[in-house]
Structure 1
């Protein structure tokens, strides 16, 4: 393998490849160019995104080698990776920006509490907003909200918010987070967990038109990180069926940004006929991805164990804010709360005045990490058989990004080169009008990364798997793992 990159992204890539078992046998050379800073933040968010996308690219190249017997190089530009961390903000429809609807104003923000500390509350959905206003016993007015929060101790308010199943986190330093029981638990976890959870025969890769052709993905994800993971699979040819509950609020820009390449349907899994349909979909799936609060999907009757029973060899992906263990495992969370709790926001501001990142690093990077973990699990299934559980979390990602070191931030906003931006910008006719968006970041020598389908409206498709396209015939390509790469 040939890796051409400067630290710290090269070191991060080496660690990711070792974590996925790809350090000794990737499907081709990996090259990264560019490097932070690109944004007014002290964190290496561009380098982090580039390293993860390069690792995922290496896994895709290895899958292609096993399908075709051919190696191919992968290239990732850190500027393009950095720009992808705000792709939802760069959407256009008929040339005009797609509004980024804020359902939460003025609650979703950092608010000063007693003793010089601040808490970030998140009210991205109406029921979260209403619950927070009820807890604070005040109207949805910034002045009244700030007055009420100023009466609280930050940590007591954090516990009260969690006790009602709402969303909030105190702005902690990285040192405080590492000393916190949840931070200590997360620090002991891998950045990406790929755990074998059942037995099944190996499923070798056979010749196909694209690296993930024929891979079926049940996409039960919401908002940004989870849908980004499955969108990243769709750009390699996977068939992704996105499922949303009929009563779930939506943020339209997120639906557009993460819908590229997917089918979209609506199902109420609390109703028995649709739960039965879900079981039928899982029985024919390769991947089951979800990013709801730990235990929520299991409570609907679809724990990892049931998915593996329905479809031996399935790969389940679980994405959460704080992880699936530790004292905070049941807490709901969002991007900003991971930044608040982990120390990112304090590092970019102060204990008294934390600041969230100007981009959305944890959602997108965690989505890319989940895609990488699922690609690694597909490789393991091909060679060894088995069902797998891939786990990632926003807060663990935030801790990893901070471990890459600090930089001097750009004081003048985004500085991604214009030619990099132009190379990423795409337009296509979509059901709701001509859409402008950012294309995939990774570049492959042989197989092009692209989305076959435009981002669809909600409930545009039936909850059935489409017929698979005809693929090249022949047995699985033999791969001699003892040969030098």
Structure 2
């Protein structure tokens, strides 16, 4: 392993995209380890940069709250690699989760390769309906059907039915695609100040409404919960959640269910919004607009709000309103072709982690933290937008490989912990975000999905000058 002082070029690029002060990059030290997240693409470098930028943003906000200089930030490849594969290390009463359903996989087609995503029941139903198969169709039945069809034709048919399927493309094909060209023309992330709302009181407890699903958004809000935020995840009762995914990304949060189309539940949500400081959304662009939850509308209703918006393909271009997941973005953007040997007729590959999800999640948390820091001095409602496809473009075209470390590969066991929870005994990956005075673990394990009351707790009274802050107000870097 090798320890270096100062941020890597990738970390510096991420910090610049976040609008951070370049002078703070000297606070970062990096412990590189051999064999962490091995891939043809620079996945280790991307992962370390995303976590490093997030850690620095957390350290900056902690220093702003305390009125002191920004402390040291530590990035450890071992911690990062374990966290980026947290769903694979999770055990629930000794049971390992199943990450992908049988119909979520690569398929050989008449003219190439196709990947589908069907982990949720409604996605499986839409896929089968689009393909014209019955509910009892086996993997072999679907494989035989797809072998006779064009990958691009199936991609359009399945998406038209509300399902998820993407044809394999190489990097050049994606660059020539209208959506690929749109992504390439935009920065890694966007940040916007919307109004002149007054500056934020840095001592005020932070409340986050979490309207995200699957990995990237929940990783971001899990990170904000680590740093002391009161995070309340809100799900629709009619949309099932994978209990294993909830067990992995629910640390530190509370969870409730509200039907935003029902009057009573909508009034409850509006009351929650009136007390929120941050709203994080991860649904398909436009999907929440009919509920008055577009970023600009949210900021108008709650001046001083930070709205963090996450999508698969970006809220623009011909695919702007399409659903998507990490595995599908890898296939469309050329990553799966690079990581496999599809040009030789062999099966496409995949990254050693859901790195687009995890990386974008830490960048999303970092963007929220930086927005909060800026609000202390400048005020203003803020909107930040990120997309898995933009992170993918950065991985393929922006992040550069660094010299590999020597020595033994990191041992994931050193970064795992166990705890009892309402879901059972959990083995889980510890958080990789690390800075002087920062937390080493979450304050609470995940509870049962949707079981918490849709309300904010009564805030603790602020401490008198010279007294310790109450626990709920120590943000970030409690404990």
TM-score of the aligned structures, taking structure 1 as reference length: 0.89
**Counterparts of 1:21 and 1:306 in 2: how far apart (Å)?**
24
**Counterparts of 2:96 and 2:182 in 1: how far apart (Å)?**
39
Give the 3 Å change call, closer, same or farther, for CA 61–464 of structure 1 in structure 2.
same
> What is the aligned length?
455
SS in structure 1 of the partner of residue 426 of structure 2: strand
Deviation at 1:42, TM superposition (A): 1.3
Deviation at 1:430, TM superposition (A): 0.8
> What are the superposed Cα offsets for residues 253-289 of structure 1, whole Å, 9 maximum, x if unpaired?
1101110000111111110111111111111111001
Deviation at 1:78, TM superposition (A): 1.7
1:222 paired with 2:213, answer: yes
Deviation at 1:36, TM superposition (A): 6.1
**Counterparts of 2:8 and 2:404 in 1: how far apart (Å)?**
21
**Counterparts of 1:229 and 1:148 in 2: how far apart (Å)?**
39
Match of 1:210 in 2: none
**Counterparts of 2:402 and 2:63 in 1: how far apart (Å)?**
37
SS in structure 1 of the partner of residue 194 of structure 2: strand
**Counterparts of 2:460 and 2:221 in 1: how far apart (Å)?**
20
> What are the superposed Cα offsets for residues 308-339 of structure 1, whole Å, 9 maximum, x if unpaired?
12210101111111000011011111111010
> What are the superposed Cα offsets for residues 327-382 of structure 1, whole Å, 9 maximum, x if unpaired?
10111111110100111100011244312224211111111111011111112222
Match of 2:16 in 1: 18
Deviation at 1:427, TM superposition (A): 1.6
Bigger shift: 128-137 or 237-246?
128-137
**Counterparts of 1:16 and 1:457 in 2: how far apart (Å)?**
35
Give the 3 Å change call, closer, same or farther, for CA 416–84 of structure 1 in structure 2.
farther
Contact 2:220 2:364 in 1 (8 A): yes
1:274 paired with 2:265, answer: yes
Please, which of 138, 144, 147 is the counterpart of residue 150 of structure 1? 147
Deviation at 1:460, TM superposition (A): 2.3
Contact 1:430 1:454 in 2 (8 A): yes
Match of 1:92 in 2: 91
Counterparts of 1:21-420 in structure 2 under 5 Å?
A: 21-26=19-24, 29-35=27-33, 37-70=35-68, 71-94=70-93, 96-100=94-98, 102=100, 104-105=101-102, 107-115=103-111, 117-139=112-134, 140-206=137-203, 214-349=205-340, 350-351=342-343, 352=345, 353-403=347-397, 404-405=399-400, 416-418=409-411
Match of 1:438 in 2: 429
Deviation at 1:224, TM superposition (A): 1.0
Deviation at 1:405, TM superposition (A): 4.2
> What are the superposed Cα offsets for residues 142-198 of structure 1, whole Å, 9 maximum, x if unpaired?
222112112222112211122222111111111211111101111122212111123
**Counterparts of 2:159 and 2:237 in 1: how far apart (Å)?**
26
Deviation at 1:252, TM superposition (A): 1.4
Match of 2:442 in 1: 451
SS in structure 1 of the partner of residue 289 of structure 2: helix
Q: Which runs of 5+ in 1 are unaligned?
A: 207-212, 476-485
Contact 1:345 1:355 in 2 (8 A): yes
**Counterparts of 2:16 and 2:422 in 1: how far apart (Å)?**
42
> What are the superposed Cα offsets for residues 377-399 of structure 1, whole Å, 9 maximum, x if unpaired?
11222221111111111111111
Deviation at 1:448, TM superposition (A): 2.2
Contact 1:269 1:275 in 2 (8 A): yes
SS in structure 1 of the partner of residue 450 of structure 2: coil
Bigger shift: 127-136 or 35-44?
35-44
**Counterparts of 1:449 and 1:68 in 2: how far apart (Å)?**
19
Deviation at 1:407, TM superposition (A): 9.0
Match of 2:473 in 1: none
Q: Which runs of 5+ in 2 are unaligned?
A: 467-479
**Counterparts of 1:15 and 1:474 in 2: how far apart (Å)?**
39
SS in structure 2 of the partner of residue 248 of structure 1: coil
> What are the superposed Cα offsets for residues 89-138 of structure 1, whole Å, 9 maximum, x if unpaired?
111234x1332264x31x211111223x1111111211211211122122
**Counterparts of 2:401 and 2:64 in 1: how far apart (Å)?**
39
Deviation at 1:470, TM superposition (A): 4.2
Deviation at 1:24, TM superposition (A): 3.5
Contact 1:317 1:391 in 2 (8 A): yes
CA RMSD in angstroms, aligned pairs only: 2.3
**Counterparts of 1:144 and 1:408 in 2: how far apart (Å)?**
46
Deviation at 1:453, TM superposition (A): 1.6
